Every structure is written in C-alpha cells, then in structure tokens.
Structure 1
C-alpha cells in the first residue's frame, strides 16, 4: 500500500465537542473511531502545534508524530505589499484599520469585536474591517445593525492573490479565539502572515499563540 502522512491542524472531533457543535453520541463515537483509525494507519503524523503533538503522542503514537508548524512565504507577504487601491476603494483613507481576515466561525467568538466597536463608536478615525465569510457572519451583521454602527465594515471573501495587500493595509490585526483550554495549543496560521506583513497583532488566546507573539514582540 502507499505510505501516507496524516497532517493534523486541529484536534477533531474534540474541538467540535468542546465548541458545542457536535452533540450526537453516535456521531461522536464514530468520529472518535475514525480519528483513532487514521492515526493507526498513518505512517507519519504531523501536528501543527506542540499541543496537538503532545495530545496525539499521549495516545501511543509518539514514535511517528512530528511537529511541523505553519509558516509564511516571505516573497508574498510584507509591508511593502500594502494595497492603496483597497484602502481608497473602501473609503478607508485617514482611518486606523483594525482588521480581521478569516473564517467567521463559532471558535473565533467575533461578536466580541462588534462589542468593542460599539464601545469605540465615537472614535471616528477607527474602522473595524471584517474580510471573509462563515456561519456566524449573518449574526455579526445583525449585531452591527442592532447597535447602529458606522465603524464596522464587512467585505466578502477575497481572491487569495489579494490577501497580502489587504493584510498589509491593516494598522493592526485581530486574532481572536474562544477562551477554551483546548485553544492553548492553537497557533492560527493568520498570525504568521500578519507578522510577516509587519502588522501588530491583538491576540485573545492563551498558550502557544501568546508565547509566540510575546517572544516576537509582535503584538499584545
């Protein structure tokens, strides 16, 4: 048979269970079985964070589990890639752009950003910009309307080739996650792209991500 490498970027189904997305006991049992089966059959397992590697290793797969973190292509991302047209076309000139680019999902708890925008709604020079899509986007847009916020902007999913210019256009970038012990072993890939773009990060997660930001002095 062909040898294969099983890459694990998130611990499933554990993440889905902790987030309250997966409730059905039969589906949970099947998912746990599939996860274990995948680990057993893989010739090599790679985990993208220390937490993931430690979790998998503790189940008896230490000898074939390795750490390979996410990274970034420095030829694509950099502050020199800033997209002036993106700023102009979206009326963001003379604005301090607080950006979030990524999935609008349950794990990110993005309503916290809307609440922050509501607290800062009288600061006319600050604009919160959401780029992307996801299951929570309608709720977030409704929350914006509920508060009557003019300092929040939602943009659709952008072509991948445009992202270096968009990220570089942010004055700071948000990397939020729900406060769960599970996420102490998370290392969102957007962090690397943001750091390569020389854009400061506002982080709301403990653990490995916080350690990276503090060591690199790349945000708070």
Structure 2
C-alpha cells in the first residue's frame, strides 16, 4: 500500500520504482478509487486491475448526533483497561476473535506505551465472570479531529449479543469528547465477509470510498514503463 500527496502526483513513480526494485516478485497494490493520481501511475507502469476480489470499504460518519450507547446484556460492562489482568485479557480476546497468536500480552503492553495510544480510546467489554470478551480500540488524530477504529473484535462465544456495537458506539462518544468531528473505519466490502461492515453501518457509518487491487507485470527489474 502507498500514499502520495495528490499535489505531487509525479512522486508516485518514485515510490513505485523503489518498491519494484526491492520486491522479489510483481507487486500487488491496493489503492482507493478516490486516488486517481495513484491509479494513473499504476496504469502507466503496466499494472492491471484485478478481477473482482476481496476489497476494503472505507466508511465514516460525523461525530455529531451520535446514538446512545446500547444497553448490554445483564452482567456485561464497558470500561477501560485498569490493570495487568485487563491487558492480559485484552490480548487474549484479540487472539480469540481473530484466531491468531500474533498479539501477545507483551506486544499489547508495548503498544500501550507507544504514541499516540490513549487508554480512554481502547475500551473493553467484560462478561459476568469479568473476562474480557470484546473490545474496540480507537486512534485519534488531533490535528484533523478524526478518530479511527482499529482493531475491533469479539470472542466467538459471546457474539450476537450486541457487544461490538455497544463498545464501538462508546468509542465514538470518546472521540467526540476528545474534540473530534469525524470517525472512520475500514472493513471488507465484498460479499464473502459482510458482518463487520453491517456492524458499522448499524451505527450510522457509511461508505465514502473503496479499494481496488492492481498487479504488476512480471518484468525484469528496471524494465517498468515510465509515463510519456
């Protein structure tokens, strides 16, 4: 993935040339349809748009007129992480939600010590047994007043109870309290993985763009065509 200032579209070729030299095989590049300067550069360099495949929807909403945080089932509650046990539980909830071992307790703890992390934007849902079973992590850009969700997850044994919708809505309110005016989130947009997008749309978040995938030709390094 790459980003280039639309005011300097010629730099897209410099970035792609660097990546092509470093890549052991043809590149696969995801760009948004709102980035025509990147699409033009890719086409000029011989990249081809792939057939319809998994893609990301980019969704957003204003932080004005937010819905109330939905009520949770009896015994569940939303809060910040208060101690090491919560950090352990938050990391475990991520592993359970995504069936992945990537997020360890140590890795999550290090991330919490890294700017621009803010603990009041990283909310968890606890079960009646006080286990962490869902979460929504928010990141806030003070300069632009925009908050982003990444990641969001629910333990498989606690899904379909409205936990993710409630904790995400609580993070929307936290963004607003921080002074934000807009929230964004990315979710799969294709029919093969529809649930996350449905969740965000249930909170008034709507699509403003989507991604497309371009694949480079199999060429010798340095042989990519340049624009004329």
Provide TM-score, normalisation by structure 1. 0.31
Q: Which has the higher contact order (CA 8 A, sep 6+)?
A: 2
Look at both structures and tell me which one has the larger radius of gyration over its CA atoms.
Answer: 2
More strand by share: 2
More helix by share: 1
